[in-house]
Structure 1
Amino acid sequence: MTATPAAARAGADACPGALQTHPAADGALARVRVPGGLLTAAKLRALAAAARALGDGALELTSRGNVQLRGLAPEAEADLGDRLAATGLLPSATHERVRNVLASALTGRTGGHLDARPWVRGLDAALCGDPALAALPGRYLATLDDGRGDVTGLGGDVGLLALSPETVALTLAGADSGLRATPDRAVALALAATRAFLDERGAQGGTAWRLAELNEGPTRVAARLDLTAAGGLRRAEVPADGLPRAGVPGPVGSAVQDDGRVALVGVVPLGRLSADQADLLARVTAEVQLTPWRSVVVPDLAEDAVDDVAVALHRTGVVFDAESPWTRVTACAGRPGCAKSLADVRADAARAVATGALPAGGARQHWAGCARRCGRPRGEVVDVVATGTGYLIGEA
């Protein structure tokens, strides 16, 4: 995808947050950042309660592992902010839109070179603790990859990729910067790169939404980083080749954790999780992880509890079959939530799945209500775009 030049960004980034909502056809839309997709049961219950009391009764999972609430009344922002702050979901009112942090699915439980969860906590705290970083655009994204290669290819402005248990690479706009750190110094390197991105953005006019939009962005940001061999920071003699591309799709099903317990990974069709489903999840585990593939990791299950949990969630519509077409279908909000949409794409996509009538031979596809293709995932995806009289399949 060709990057948009910074000069083409005529307006400020209006990416919604929990306090700065977006007016949609079905009411205001709030986006709650969930760094690393990690949600305790208490936080999940709080989001479910907010969806019932203030929104349309559901949570939408986004491609950045965040949560959206739809159908909010215009005066609901203050109440939502109070609810989120009370449960730790809003640690900074000034920085809440820039807390976009993806982490490897199942990290710290199975796979990967290391546990990326400490990186999530460290980077989020550092972002919120620096007043200057409140000026980051709301589309800033950090990817924290434990080495399994699942989130590095998802378009992060700044990323960490564990190359081994001892060596971490810094990625900039998805490319290897050639800069390296030890795991304990990796967050400091990512934070320095984030500040360098903000500085370079300012030097180039301050309108770019993403690092890739800057003129020679990765090169110039890397050049701003003053590194020495001290403190575990260094430059690689040869940058890594063939960095991981966007995973298609993420993990689905069950995985035995390193501690012998089991994690379930279930796809939430079209990313719409009802408040009742969220409450059920909060009852069966102490923490869940939301993934960029609009699925949810239910970890730390005793072996004798796995079947009961899987059946209970499956009855509500959560999908654990890796061959299910729901692992390959996404959609924008469509009608009635979006005034620009030319069709109820979610209903049409669901009908196509139910009847076995998916276009393009059931290939990975994104249904969109208009040519903007909102919510389109990265990677190879067939576009199914509403025209008002039908759908265009695979048209650019």
Structure 2
Amino acid sequence: MPPTPDPAATGAAVPGRGVPDRARADVCPGALRLHAADDGFLARVRLPGGELTDPQALALAEAAEVLGDGALETTSRGNVQLRGLGSGCAGELAERLRAVGLLPSDTHERVRNIVASPLAGLSGQGAAGVRDWVRELDARLCASDWAAALSGKFLFALDDGRGDVAALDADVTLIAGSAVGGPHGGPHGGPGGAPGGGALLRLGREAYGRPVEPGREVAAVLDAARAFLDALRDTGRRAWHLREVPGLLPAGTVALPDFAGEAPALGALPGALSVGLRFGRADAAQWRALVAASAGGLRLTPWRGVVLPGAPAPHLADLAGAGFRTEAGSAWERATACTGLPGCAKSLADVRADAARALETGPGGLPVHWSGCERRCGHPAGRWVDVLATGQGYRVTVNGTADASAPVDVRNEQMAGAVAAARRTTK
């Protein structure tokens, strides 16, 4: 078996191991800072709250066709990527994005990492005002000179009280209050809550939140991010995430429950349609099918799905015909993979092709993620099945928040059975 790289040398975060001090700024790609991959240049366009209008979605599809490989990828933060870009297209891409409002700030475009509950305001559960918070946070973030110093990996999460994006372990999480039971009075209710059912602020992976004064929700989120940067400057530390320097900021006082972290169900939902993308990738024709089915806009989810607010239920059949996942229960549920070969030179395998074969049949279970190298780009949070390419096959491990199962090395033809067994793990 070929040697694997030392994670500390790559700056990679490996489950169960500490994150090293950062000796350099992050090189996370953006819409202006393109990444040179084996299949061409890559651009990542930040979409606060995953929101796109129909014209914006069509503009992205056209840019992918004209400038890239003809497809778009969604990310685990509800952003979108264009791949296969030519070396001289950066200026044209930027102009296309500016024309439809997808590049409001050249200096802050990489720090607009904001995820939000995709169903906020649609199902009668959770706080409807979360979408207003998204727009306010984005505007104030872009208007704050200090915010440009945040890492392109720093993540904000705005949860409407159902506990979905609160499970993503963002750097700063705002959890909306509820009329019943504090901030978790929705379908995944739990203990805790701010006095009077107000919002709570969670820093990193802390088990405690801090109450937020009503009307200061977005200000509290920004204050926490700025305090993080101030503390790094005062201590001389360099970090991308709050979790890398535990104890840097005062802890919260309100105990938080375990968050559900559930993606929206697929199919026709109250007030919306919900579909899934295989490995988060869809070609331009599929994006146009989304627009044709929409009622004016769409929301990309951190689980590489799409929610279409207000879309008529009969359009679900059209989306299924276009190749989107519209029914729950298949092995594709909660299955993700990194880019792999041929797009990434670091990868030891064509992981998406191998993963697709392993997912042809069988039930789902725990989240599963295929990785082509030790960096494990895009892996989920919480408990998940880690399928790591070794050059001779794959190593399958059940990773948890505190422990991991013994790894099992398998050849490609054995992988489907090993992964299915790992996904059924309950301990």
> Counterpart in 1 of 2:70?
57
> Counterpart in 1 of 2:325?
319
- Give, in whole Å, the separation in 1 of the partners of 2:281 and 2:324: 10
> Counterpart in 1 of 2:104?
91
1:184 counterpart SS class:
coil
Deviations 1:48-67 (A, max 9, x none): 11111111111101000000
Of the structure 1 ranges 14-23 and 162-171, higher mean CA displacement relative to structure 2 is found in 162-171
Opposite residue 383 of structure 1, the aligned amino acid is D
The alpha carbon displacement at 1:139 in A equals 0.8
TM-score by length of 1: 0.87
- Give, in whole Å, the separation in 2 of the partners of 1:177 and 1:94: 33
Name the structure where helix makes up a greater proportion of residues: 1
- Give, in whole Å, the separation in 2 of the partners of 1:4 and 1:22: 26
1:326 counterpart SS class:
coil
> Counterpart in 1 of 2:283?
274
Aligned residues: 366
Asked if 1:148 is matched to 2:157, the reply is: no
Going from structure 1 to structure 2, the CA distance change for 1:319 and 1:129 (only over 3 Å counts) comes to same
> Counterpart in 2 of 1:180?
211
Q: Give the one of 372, 383, 391 matched to 1:380.
A: 383
Deviations 1:303-350 (A, max 9, x none): xx412x111111122112111211131100011000111111111111
Q: Give the one of 308, 314, 319 matched to 1:298.
A: 308
Q: Give the one of 169, 178, 200 matched to 2:231.
A: 200
Cα root mean square deviation, aligned: 2.0
Asked if 1:120 is matched to 2:134, the reply is: yes
1:13 counterpart SS class:
coil
- Give, in whole Å, the separation in 2 of the partners of 1:325 and 1:317: 16
Asked if 1:353 is matched to 2:363, the reply is: no
| Unaligned segments of structure 1, at least 5 residues | 223-235, 258-262
Of the structure 1 ranges 176-185 and 275-284, higher mean CA displacement relative to structure 2 is found in 176-185
- Give, in whole Å, the separation in 2 of the partners of 1:75 and 1:122: 34
| Identical-residue share of aligned pairs (%) | 49
- Give, in whole Å, the separation in 1 of the partners of 2:235 and 2:37: 32
> Counterpart in 2 of 1:369?
372
- Give, in whole Å, the separation in 1 of the partners of 2:235 and 2:40: 36
- 1:365–1:383 CA contact under 8 A, matched in 2: yes
- Give, in whole Å, the separation in 1 of the partners of 2:126 and 2:262: 18
> Counterpart in 2 of 1:160?
174
Asked if 1:244 is matched to 2:259, the reply is: yes
Deviations 1:59-88 (A, max 9, x none): 101000000111111111111111111110
> Counterpart in 2 of 1:341?
347
TM-score by length of 2: 0.81
Q: After the TM superposition, list the runs of 4 or more consecutive aligned residues in structure 1 that deviate by more than 3 angstroms.
A: 1-6
The alpha carbon displacement at 1:248 in A equals 4.3
